[in-house]
Amino acid sequence: MNFAPHTDDEIAEMLAAVGAASLDELFDQIPADVRLQGPLDIPNGISEMELVDDLRGHALKNRNLDELVCFAGRGAYDHYIPSLVWALAGRSEFYTSYTPYQPELSQGVLQVLFEFQSMICELTGLEVSNASLYDGATALVEAVHMAVGAGRTRVLVSDGVDPRMIETLRSFGRGAGFRPEVYAGSTPEVGPDVACVIVAHPNVYGALEPIREHFGAAHDGGARAIQIFDPMSLGVLASPGELGADIAVAEGQPLGNFLNYGGPYLGLIAARMDDVRRMPGRIVGETLDVDGTPGYVLTLQAREQHIRREKANSNICTNQTLMAIAATIYLGWLGPEGLRELGRQCSSRAAYAARVLTQIPEVRLAQPDVPFFKEFALRLPRPAAAVVDALVEQGFLAGVPLTMAGEDVLLVAVTERRTRGEIDGLARAMGEVLAGS
């Protein structure tokens, strides 16, 4: 049962029922020397995140277990999820994982999806978004389908894009008639047959590339600019729309969704109004009924389940409605100022982590002169995978081993959940592991 405090009227009614004039009179039978005198010696309040972490620590002691401190990232991140997100997402007005086909029975779901689309447009600085996709990788595929649908066939991909996304593009492209071409540098050669230029900002190594140069080259050649973005960065970094993106895609897992051993996750996509007819999936719109009352309906459904297969924009016939609902609640809880503060927390903690970790002998940043948001790559004197395995024994999930320009690196991610003590602990443990090599 939810806790509901008594009102003054309820207290007065209860006192009248027992014949007491006040609460003090009610407790007169208790000797004064055993009653509380003065205020309680209770420390100041703490945030929900700090309280949950403290309770989790006690619970792990009860089970004689230790929880790894997570510095892993590469697309899936250990951000804090407020308890209210899934308490609200599980309400009957919203709780669904599928498409609301009967609008008269689904106004709660449709309204929250309309708000979801509106929030994604506000975040990205673009004009139209849909009611979600499977995940970040398939969102990128759909963005390329939109670009290729405009008449060109070549797809240029920056070498800073996650190789897993490039492989996903390659798999889908075999049937769709395009093949991703990876390029290095910031000024790709964009000919008249190039449909789009794809850049990740931040990229797979956490670095912030000169994305305006990439997109300037794309627009000069008449191609669409596609940005893969981190939604948690948009409180402190310029939006895709400001940077010149025509289409923006992201993995939406950090927006109110737990790591969940890899899924289900959430695909985000937004574009300019010129491409609204090429947008995959479905778009929820706001309208008025015959009485002038606001209502919500599925406005566009450009997928093969609803229209002729050869004219469909996508053959993916579902989405991630429940994950999108959680993302909407999370963003509503966070708000614009909260998103800015979260971005500042991530970037400042990541900067501190990079500073203390590079004080370990022979540990250095892989890209020392390149800015980053919340992830950075380290070069270590030992293979990164071996160091990660050794640090598990010390209670840390230290990061993700990667290859950069043919060399072994460790990708470290730092979210708002990582404390100074945890970062210092990782530095001490890594120093001990490397010194023992």
Shared domain for 353 and 401, answered yes or no, is yes
Q: Which of 312, 331, 350 is the last residue of a domain?
A: 331
Flag whether 13 is in a domain: no
The answer to whether residues 66 and 123 belong to one domain is no
Q: Based on the domain organization, do 196 and 298 belong to the same domain?
A: yes
Q: 159 and 245 share a domain?
A: yes
Cα separation, 90 vs 112, in Å, equals 13
Among 331, 354, 377, identify where a domain stops.
331
Nearest to 265 by CA among 92, 416, 75: 75
CA nearest to 71, candidates 420, 411, 427: 411
314: DSSP letter: B
- 1 within some domain: no
407 and 323 in a single domain? The answer is no
Please state, in angstroms and rounded to a whole number, the distance separating the CA atoms of residues 317 and 268: 16
Burial class, 68, CB count within 10 angstroms (exposed 0-12 / middle 13-18 / buried 19+): middle
CA 138 – CA 125 distance, rounded (Å): 21
Per-residue tokens: 370: 């390149």
CA–CA–CA angle 296, 297, 301 (5° rounding): 145
Q: Which amino acid is at 225?
A: A
Within a domain: 268: yes
Is residue 94 assigned to a domain? yes
User: Are 74 and 87 in the same domain?
Assistant: no
CATH value at residue 418: 3.90.1150.10
Tally the C-alpha atoms within 13 A of residue 98's C-alpha that lie toward its C-beta. 3
- In terms of C-beta distances under 8 Å and separation of at least 24 residues, what long-range contacts does 293-301 make, across chains too? 295/103, 295/107, 296/103, 296/107, 296/110, 296/111, 296/113, 296/114, 297/103, 297/110, 298/99, 298/100, 298/101, 298/103, 298/110, 300/276
**DSSP three-state, residue 44:** coil
Distance linking the first and last C-alpha atoms of the chain: 55
Segments of the chain scoring below 70 in pLDDT: 1-4, 62-66, 96-101, 302-313, 315-317, 437
Q: 49, 78 in Cβ contact below 8 A?
A: no
Residues 271 and 147 in one domain: yes
Sheet holding 128-129, edge to edge: 128-129, 267-271, 247-251, 224-229, 194-201, 154-158, 180-183
pLDDT at 297: 87
Q: Verify that 59 and 91 share a domain, yes or no.
A: no
C-alpha closest to that of 162 among 139, 194, 178, 146: 139
- Same domain? For 306 and 360 the reply is no
State the DSSP code for 45. Answer: P
In a domain, 32, yes or no: no
100 and 239 share a domain?
yes
User: pLDDT value at position 1?
Assistant: 37
Q: Residue 23 falls within a domain, yes or no? A: no
Cα dist. 350→231, 346, 412 in Å?
17, 6, 9
374 found inside a domain = yes
- 146: helix, coil or strand? helix
Give the pLDDT score at 66. 61
Residues 309 and 362 in one domain: no
Number of structural domains (the chain) is 2
| The pLDDT value given to residue 108 | 84
Q: What does the alpha-carbon distance between residue 85 and residue 172 come to, in Å, rounded to a whole number?
A: 34
Q: Does 380 share its domain with 363?
A: yes
Which structural domain range is residue 244 located in?
A: 83-331
Indicate whether 69 belongs to any domain.
yes
The domain boundary, picked from 308, 331, 354, lies at 331
Instruction: Output the domain CATH number for residue 116.
Output: 3.40.640.10
